[in-house]
């Protein structure tokens, strides 16, 4: 039996949820800016990455995991970002040759 008494404060999840709502509104509002295709892509990917990080860290309880698990999740994100970078750079230079 677990004798530790755990107290739960809804402040953290409510703040993270509020941040996710604000970032979603920012995505919608920034989509109307005329920054070109590359700028819009960079803005959308940046905001989506921050939102994914918040969800992973707080709602999927990554903040309670050991360091090695956090490193493997970071490695997965770096691998995904590298694949995105290579794919988008290939797509960007297709019409040049």
Q: What is the pLDDT of residues 40-56, one digit of tens each?
A: 878 888 898 899 889 98
Distance separating alpha carbons of residues 97 and 24, to the nearest angstrom: 38
Q: What pLDDT score was predicted for residue 42?
A: 81
Q: What pLDDT score was predicted for residue 83?
A: 93
Q: What pLDDT score was predicted for residue 97?
A: 55
Distance separating alpha carbons of residues 47 and 68, to the nearest angstrom: 26
Distance separating alpha carbons of residues 17 and 58, to the nearest angstrom: 10
Select the more confidently predicted residue: 39 or 5: 39
The distance from CA 75 to its chain's CA centroid, rounded to whole angstroms, is 14
Torsion of CA 91, 92, 94, 97, to 10 degrees: -160
Kindly report the pTM of this predicted structure. 0.69
CA angle, 69 as apex, 65 and 71 as ends, to 5°?
120
pLDDT digits (tens, 9 = 90+) for 18-41: 999 999 999 888 888 888 877 887
Whether the per-residue pLDDT at 4 is higher than 80: the answer is: no
């Amino acid at each position: 039996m677990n004798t530790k008494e755990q107290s739960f404060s809804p402040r953290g999840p409510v703040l993270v949820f509020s941040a996710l709502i604000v970032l979603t509104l920012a995505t919608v509002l920034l989509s109307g800016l005329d920054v070109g295709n590359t700028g819009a892509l960079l803005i959308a990917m940046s905001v989506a990455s921050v939102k994914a990080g918040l969800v992973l860290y707080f709602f999927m309880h990554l903040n309670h995991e050991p360091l090695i698990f956090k490193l493997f999740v970071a490695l997965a994100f770096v691998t995904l970002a590298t694949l995105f970078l290579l794919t988008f750079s290939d797509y960007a230079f297709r019409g040049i040759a």
